[in-house]
Structure 1
Amino acid sequence: MSSDDDRPLGSLQNGHKVSPAGVRQNGHPKEEASDSPMSEDEDMPLSQVTAPKSEPVTPAKSLRNKRAVPVESSSDDDDDDSPLASSPAKQSAGTSKVSTANGHKAVKAENDDKRSSAPTKKKRAPAKKEPPQKKMKRDPDASEPSASEGEEFKPVKNEKMPKKRKSKVKDEAGADAEDGETPKPAKKKATTKKVKDEANGSETPQPKKKRGKVKDEGEEEEEVFRWWEAQQNNDGEVKWQTLEHNGVIFPPPYESLPSDVKMRYKGKEVDLPQESEEVAGFYAAMLETEHAQDATFNKNFFEDWLKVLQEHPPRNKIKIAKFENCDFRPMFEYFEAEKAKKKALSNAEKKELKKQKDAFEEKYVTCLLDGRKEKVGNFRVEPPGLFRGRGDHPKKGALKFRVRPEDITINIGEGAPIPVPNMPGNWKGIVHDQTVTWLANWVENVNGNYKYVFLAAGSSLKGQSDMQKFEKARELKSHVDRIRKDYSADLRSKVMADRQRATAMYFIDKLALRAGNEKGEDEADTVGCCSLRCEHITLEAPDFLIFDFLGKDSIRYYNRVSVDPQVFKNIKLFKENKEDSDNLFDRVNTSLLNKHLASYMKGLTAKVFRTYNASITFQQQLDEGTPTDATVQEKLNAYNHANRMVAILCNHQRSAPKTHEQSMGKMRDRLRSLKYDRMKLRHVLFSMDPKYKKQKRYTDDESDLDDDWIEEHEDSLQKKEIEKAEKKFTKDNEKLVQEGNKAQPDSVLQEKIEAIENECKRIAKERGTGKAKLKRERAPEKIEEAIQKLDERIKTFKLQMDDREAGKEVALGTSKINYLDPRITAAWCSAHNVPIEKIFSKTLLAKFPWAMEVNDTWKF
């Protein structure tokens, strides 16, 4: 769910209190939904998704009119998921109508006065067609499976690698072929047709809706609205004309634990009522996580749980007073056992459960917006649980109440059927606000923030918002020189407020700092530029400033940077006669700063500067650092290096993943397996003709391959081959039985295992001899070709390892999702013949379909 921390909606109240009704009634405790932007897994490029070897790699240009696959919406790093206009707030007459839950009409709540800061839409002419782009070739060496996977005992198999061939540029319908599918024949490009507007008699060009490919089940995919080709006929305030949806899905009610599963207090079992048992279960499920080791988390949980226990005390009269005497282990072990049971389900059982879940959620997944079916991003209401927060949040561990229909306001078209909640209760309110893009909202109890249900990231409304954001950043290009000239002059202003404002603008521009907003005492101590305190900056002569503070999400910002001498003097002046806890900029705040910026350009805010600097830096890094004569992997490394520069600029740092070393270890083993395959092929050549030993390219042995590793590797290959044979034997027998035939006897499997063991013994005898043989003869030329391809794959894999190591402490996904104009990536891929699937995941391709329209000469 998305929150809008900076837009309080004063008229709505939470109204929750800790009570039986307030405590959430869920099933097994569930992890809190992440508040972060798209995760790294989500952002994994398509090229890293397992697919059959035969799958053709789609060129970047084939994505020009690619079908968008709408996905779950994700919150922007800087609250970009907030409503395009605003949020419901103060009551006022003269606005659109509001209906109560009972269907009676009332006066609609007027939007927050912050709406004025939201970018307004301008009428745009239909997008011009870009000139056709070049077809792109696939580099077969970019991301191939390891030679040691599959035919490990037949090294010569390496020669049967896919040959280079041009991938046909598919049209928009064919470009979205699923992994492993063959591209469909090209269809005619979508054109626009004129539709008469009955209201004014005019004709408006509207794009043809393209038919989707037919799914395996015979169900046709939904049509895609190419909004970026359609003329926008609104005044910048009205976002939609008609809207129908089915509301949100509430989590299921809580189910009590079995009677023999109870927590203990001082060694005695506690008989908890359902309401207090549920809250205890939230903590028990997290018993072996880092959260349960955190003192603040434990303190907040226990305080909230005690409040629940006051209303719902243990039935066996045990008084719970100290956290240290509580033993949640029995509940934890029960939850772990249940997870294990679920994991042990057969594939058929898992598919059936998923089928039932999908059938239940089907009507919530989409809505009708202006007569078009569009995906809803986050239609599931977050279940109750314990608040995790980000970083060192003072409220982590606090109890999150169950959200009920009485907490939720629905936004829907006037006259549309009002959705019925899937749990007892009536909606808090029904509004018909066409100036906002949310479908439902409510206030969460921990921080008092608003949660919103929006359309999916690939929807037309979200796409328009993204495009407007990046177009606004591009517009800044024509004003930035004048702005910099002015604030550079104001650095010496005699008016202290102007001098502070100019210094803050210098930091926002040069260091890409966030503007910063005032925070309450009960929020994490995070700051931005305008809220910096004297303690956050240290002066170091002659012109160095050392920044050290907690930024957004409690991520530490530490930077020692050389600044303009006048800026250094100003900071020294601003700190005079102040305590460390005093504000550095005591005469500037975010509102005043943004008001000043808006005088240069309509809609300009400090956030636009951050987007501009990220994208322009990225464009410059790509232009300067992309090698011309290089492999696809070398170009990808250059791309990721440019992305890292932006991530460092924007302080998108992260701790190295706990699994990083384990992951790198697996990559090193895979690299050795490639070298092992190359070694075996060399030895085959030596067996054929000793003259090959004198050739320079075959003389040196492969590094990292000692005798112990080779023996261990060959043993692991034997185990894998046997497991593979057993799985195939079981699967074949299941199929035979289903077809009414007799299953194969166990002797068939035993023969296959014996053949594998004999082959392994033969290979073991070759160790240390410098010679090897293949099961099937191959020409020396074919083996030489296979070795050459392995050399290329080894080189590519080493580059991938270097790239992984370089990016272990930098979060590349945040800037790619929120700050980098996706058209930069699309144009770069087209210009350098890099398949965009190697950079953008399916999620991002669905989020930015409009960006695929640019040609290879486009620049930010």
Structure 2
Amino acid sequence: MSGDVSMFSDDDKPLRAKAGSSTVNGTNGHVAANGNGRHEESSPLSDGDDVPLSQTTRTKSEPTTPDVSAPRKRKKAIAYSSSSEDEMPLKVSSPSKNANSAAVPMPGALVATTVPTVNGNGKVAKGKKVNNVVSSSDDDAPIAKSKRVPAAKEKRKPPKKRVKKESDDEFGLESEDDKPIAKKKAAPAKGKRKLKEESDADDEEDDKPLKKTVTKKTPQKRAKKEESNEETPKPKTKKGKVKKGEEEEDMKKGKKKSKEEEEEEDTYKWWEQQEANGDGTEKWQTLEHNGVYFPPPYEPLPKHVKMKYNGKHVDLHVVAEEVAGFYAALIETDHAKDETFNNNFFEDFLAVLKENPPKDSTKITKFSLCDFRPMFEHFEAEKAKKKAMTTAEKKEAKAQKDALEAPYTHCVLDGRKEKVGNFRVEPPGLFRGRGDHPKKGRLKFRVQPEDITINVGEGVSTPKPNVPGKWKAVVHNKTATWLANWVENVNGNYKYVFLAAGSSIKGQSDMQKFEKARDLKNHVARVRADYTAELKSKVTQIRQRATAMYFIDKLALRAGNEKGDDEADTVGCCSLRYEHVTCEPPNFLVFDFLGKDSIRYYNRVRVDDQVFKNITIFKKDNVEGDNLFDRVDTSSLNKHLSSYMKGLTAKVFRTYNASITFQRLLDEGTPEKATVQEKLNAYNHANREVAILCNHQRAVPKTHEQSMLKMKEKLRGFKYERMKLRHALFAIDSKYKKKKKYADDESDLDDDAIVLHEEQWKAREIEKAEKKFQKENEKLAEDDKKPQADSVLKQRLKDIEDEFKRLAKERGTKKAELKREKSTDKLEESIDKLDEKIKAFKLQMQDREAGKEVALGTSKINYLDPRITAAWCKLHDVPIEKIFSKTLLTKFPWALEVDEDWKF
């Protein structure tokens, strides 16, 4: 499914799943295409871990409340963590009804999504804002006709043209990935923080903060001239339209509105409403969309590509061939080494073969005689072809794909254009599951229109599927926030298509969730006093409930539900068994069990004497397999919690403890006078403590060692550059050799390291020159011009060879020749900048290494009130783009409104 949002929403679950089944079916909810055009699952956004930029491990400080004082030991996680439990969706009525708002008033203004009022002179009117402006862009046109009258087009100052900052690098060491860390900027005016339009996070880690673009300042005279030009109205034709030539000139100068700016103008700022929009049962009044996007039909493999059985090629039926291809694409992964996965796949494969036998009548009975490698090799070859495509070919392929999906990416909700989250129907494949799931390897059937129920407004045209077939049903349920749903065949769970994470409905749901957790501060003292007293109750059921509440409060355990035999054996607080908790006198408990997503929870912790006594009693006369709390279940526990506060559940406690702990750690651990990187490390440390508290662990990424190696090479490059600058300084004035700051050689930069660095650098430069030459020729070919001769490339490569021969001669001489001459003051300044860069980069490396086993994204997405981060960034002058990815900035626009003194 789409990576924008999970098929399952924690806060928007309108239908009940099958009894005894998990709400989340165990799939990752998203599929990415492999080389065969088939798909591999990846973690969803809303329920899974949004992998953070910097991963850090737990330090000696304890994130839990003071009652739990013993340090906790952690073992390596078994699988990747994803966390969230079910809550009913926020009930949102249409704005047209003018109900009272559930949004909390917040001071300040979100500049990134604010559309200024423009007067007749083309200037912004003070103190005025315009909400819900409909953009005139064709890209932002509604999918279906809307009754809403569009607002008048407004004039807007065109953005100033960005000028690329000239690199200070003398040696060509700085590439796009090696740019110097931006200088710390002055804090923006209160309530005026602007969010820059940034690129998406790195492909490897979805939650990587955005990198700020450093722009060169425009000279004062030129700036005045540009400002004057901007205020001059454009000559118009008789019809009042700007001349074509002027429009083209604006496009060249970068003055035309970007797509991102137009989308920002369309942002519906529900949190600024004065009227209610959350107490009714109806979530919308009008809803129009184009349904869901089905994957393309299966394309048979070339006739010469066949699986083998007992050494001979098998002529499979096209249906069986597709299923065989699912497994063939995975034979080099860990899944194909898993016995359960293989057994389940082969059982389903045999069922498919029974209905669709091979054309050559081959009898397939043993899995060990099946050879899928010919198919795998074909997929790898196709993958290599895609990788070898030219830039133009890749752009064209992407454009075609985007054009096919464009009608499904947005819907019109109450006259507003809103983005749809997971609009793609999951293609068929093999179920992966998480951890030791008993159904991993099972065949996921292709979803047809006849399986899907569509939810649209009354009186609008019913969307047509993009594949042959008719919808299972078309409903007009205004109390539901889903656009489509169906039941997947592996676990029998419902799957939904919801609005994207940044939509108004999801935003209000998120805000209500965190406000509910924040409100718990007014009741938590009474709850704790009651369960502490009930730990000594003479009624076993009450004593068990009090002990369970102690664990949920102090250890942030999930409530836990009973699981069926066909589900992974994961447990929570209420479903703990005899073997999951071990007593160690005088008052230590050792927890060891598989939590959600089969992540191992291991914790040795000191508890209250009465709690230790209770667990000893509960275990008495019980044996392995018996429930520890045999008289308490999740529903009765949550019902008891709701008696203290409306809507209070175990999950609210978990969200409260995560956020309140995070706020405390930030307040205590953020250094006042420090660099941005040092503050970021303090932030990641606090986030890491909460992640450990909530058991958001992950297996060490397979690419971690490679990533750390690249960072070491990059650090070596910084040191090499510093060495060359020092040597250039010595050549100008030898007295610098006696200064302690410059006299010592760079650590870890011996002769061998220098040779290795120059060789790697040379290889990169050659590769860069070849790619640049290829792109230039592709551009010339597009413009029907004659390509450059090979001699051009040969000359460039010769220049690189000559440059590195010169550097080789400089080795050991402590002399360096720069490409451009610099004064001693400039050299000293450059060395000082490199010193700061090296210091900050070392902190980043420590942060990455420390967090290799902790998933910071889950708590950041689901359990930490985003307003804590927004206020902290304003207070400590840290760009929020360094913490929140573009996805999170879109998900939490309402949180960016808070002042710097806001506290959870």
What TM bracket, shorter-length normalisation? 0.7 to 0.9
Correspondence list, 1:633-652, <5 A: 633-652=677-696
Q: Distance in 2 between matches of 1:469 and 1:160?
A: 40
Task: Report the counterpart of residue 107 of structure 2 in structure 1.
Answer: 130
CA distance in 2 between counterparts of 1:755 and 1:723 reads 14
Tell me the distance in 2 between the aligned counterparts of 1:43 and 1:528: 24
Q: Would the aligned equivalents of 2:109 and 2:192 in 1 still touch at CA under 8 Å?
A: no
CA distance in 1, matches of 2:260, 2:856: 37
Q: Alignment length, in residue pairs?
A: 750
1:174-230 CA-partner distances (Å, limit 9, x unpaired):
734345597999x9xxxxxxxxxxxxxxxxxxxxxxxx9823799877611001111
Q: CA 1:352–1:252 in 2, change beyond 3 Å: closer, same or farther? A: same
Q: CA deviation at 1:79?
A: 3.8
Deviation of the 1:35 alpha carbon? 4.5
Structure 1 residue 495 corresponds to structure 2 residue 501: no
Pick from 689, 696, 702 the counterpart of residue 658 of structure 1: 702
The alignment status of 1:240 with 2:278, answered yes or no, reads no
* CA drift at 1:688: 1.4
Q: Which residue of 2 aligns with 1:30?
A: 38
Q: Please, which of 141, 144, 151 is the counterpart of residue 172 of structure 2? A: 151
Which segments of 5 or more consecutive residues in structure 1 lack a partner in the other structure? 14-25, 47-74, 87-120, 136-143, 188-211
Q: Write the distance in 1 (CA, Å) between the matches of 2:529 and 2:558.
A: 21
Cα offset for 1:285? 0.8
Distance in 2, Cα, partners of 1:315 & 1:449: 35
**Equivalent position SS for 1:2:** coil
* 2:342 alignment partner in structure 1: 298
1:755-774 equivalence runs, <5 A? 755-774=799-818
Asked if the contact 1:251–1:383 (Cα under 8 Å) also holds between the matched residues in 2, the reply is: yes
Q: Does 1:398 align with 2:442?
A: yes
**Is residue 191–residue 899 contact of structure 2 (8 Å, CA) maintained in 1?**
no
Whether the 8 Å CA contact 1:42–1:841 is kept in 2: the answer is: no
Q: Does 1:214 align with 2:257?
A: yes
Stretch moving more, 235-244 or 367-376: 235-244
**1:448/1:84 CA distance change after superposition, 3 Å:** farther
| Match of residue 224, structure 1, among 253, 267, 272 | 267
Q: Which amino acid aligns with 2:572?
A: G
1:606 to 636, 650, 655: 650
Equivalent residue for 1:378, pick from 422, 430, 434: 422
Question: Which residue among 601, 605, 630 is the counterpart of 1:557?
Answer: 601
1:428 maps to which of 465, 468, 472: 472
% of aligned pairs identical? Answer: 66
- CA deviation map 1:255-301 (0-9, x unaligned): 11111111111111111111111111110111111000000000000
SS of the residue corresponding to residue 538 of structure 1 reads strand
Other-structure match for 1:587: 631
Matches within 5 A, 1:26-425: 28=36, 30-37=38-45, 77-79=83-85, 83-84=89-90, 123-124=100-101, 128=105, 130=107, 151-152=172-173, 166=186, 175-179=195-199, 180=213, 214-215=257-258, 223-230=266-273, 231-233=275-277, 235-425=279-469
RMSD: 3.4
With over 3 angstroms needed to count, the CA separation of the structure-2 counterparts of 1:615 and 1:702, relative to structure 1, is same
Q: 1 CA distance for matches of 2:623 and 2:357? A: 49
Tell me what 2:754 maps to: 710
Cα 1:458–1:807 change in 2 (3 A) is same
Q: Contact 1:4–1:450 at 8 Å: present in 2 too?
A: no
Contact 2:527 2:644 in 1 (8 A): yes
In the other structure, the counterpart of 1:90 is none
Letter in 2 for 1:223: D
> Offset at 1:37?
3.7
Residue 524 of structure 2 is aligned to residue 480 of structure 1: yes
In structure 2, relative to structure 1, the CA distance for the partners of 1:38 and 1:458 (3 Å cut) is same
Would the alpha carbon gap of residues 587 and 220 (structure 1) be closer, same or farther in structure 2, given more than 3 Å must change? closer
Residue 173 of structure 1 and its aligned partner are, at CA, apart by 11
| Aligned residues of 2:451 and 2:486 also touching (Cα < 8 A) | yes
1:451–1:80 CA distance, 2 compared to 1 (3 A)? same
| 1:662 Cα deviation after fit | 1.4
* TM-superposed deviation, 1:361: 1.1
Question: Could you tell me how far 1:767 is from its partner in structure 2?
Answer: 0.9
**Do the aligned residues in 2 keep the contact of 1:272 with 1:313 (CA within 8 Å)?**
yes
Counterpart-to-counterpart distance in 2, 1:133 and 1:242: 27
- Aligned partner of 1:817 among 850, 853, 861: 861
| Alpha-carbon distance in 1 for matches of 2:889, 2:193 | 14
- TM-score normalised to the size of structure 2? 0.78
Cα distance change, pair 666–449 in 1 and its aligned pair in 2 (3 A)? same
Q: How big is each residue's C-alpha offset from its partner over 1:370-412, in whole Å with a ceiling of 9 and x where there is no partner?
A: 1100000001000000000011100000011111111111111
Deviations 1:16-74 (A, max 9, x none): xxxxxxxxxx994523433444699965569xxxxxxxxxxxxxxxxxxxxxxxxxxxx
8 Å CA contact 2:108–2:190 kept in 1: the answer is no
Distance in 2, Cα, partners of 1:690 & 1:27: 60
Q: Distance in 1 between matches of 2:584 and 2:564?
A: 32
Gaps of 5+ in 2: 1-5, 22-33, 55-80, 93-97, 113-164, 200-212, 218-225, 231-254
The aligned residue for residue 819 of structure 2 is 775
Contact 1:4–1:451 (CA<8 Å) still a contact in 2? no
Matched residue, 2:878: 834
Pair 165,609 (structure 1): closer, same or farther in 2 beyond 3 Å: closer
| CA distance in 2: counterparts of 1:671 and 1:147, whole angstroms | 17
How far 1:128 moved relative to its partner? 4.1
Structure 1 residues 773 and 849, CA, compared in 2 at 3 Å: closer, same or farther? same
User: In 2, distance between residues paired with 1:146 and 1:506?
Assistant: 57
- For 1:160 and 1:549, locate their aligned partners in 2 and report how far apart those are by CA, in whole Å: 45
TM-score norm. by structure 1 comes to: 0.82
CA contact (8 A) 1:213 1:220 kept: no
CA gap 1:313/1:145 in 2 versus in 1, 3 angstroms: farther
The CA distance in 2 between the partners of 1:160 and 1:477, in whole Å, is 43
Q: Aligned runs of 1:446-457 on 2, under 5 Å?
A: 446-457=490-501
Cα drift, residue 341 of structure 1: 1.2
Whether the aligned pair in 2 keeps the contact of 1:389 and 1:396 (CA below 8 Å) is yes
Tell whether 2:533 aligns with 1:528.
no
Provide the residue aligned with 1:196 in structure 2.
Answer: none
Report the secondary structure of 1:258's partner residue: coil
AA of the residue aligned to 1:587: R
- 8 A Cα contact 1:28 1:335, kept in partner: yes
Helix, strand or coil at the partner of 1:655? coil
State the secondary structure of the residue aligned to 1:33: strand
Amino acid in structure 1 at the alignment position of 2:195: A
Work out the CA distance in 1 between the residues paired with 2:49 and 2:556.
26
Alpha carbons of structure 1 residues 453 and 277: separation in structure 2 relative to 1, 3 Å: same
Opposite residue 84 of structure 2, the aligned amino acid is D
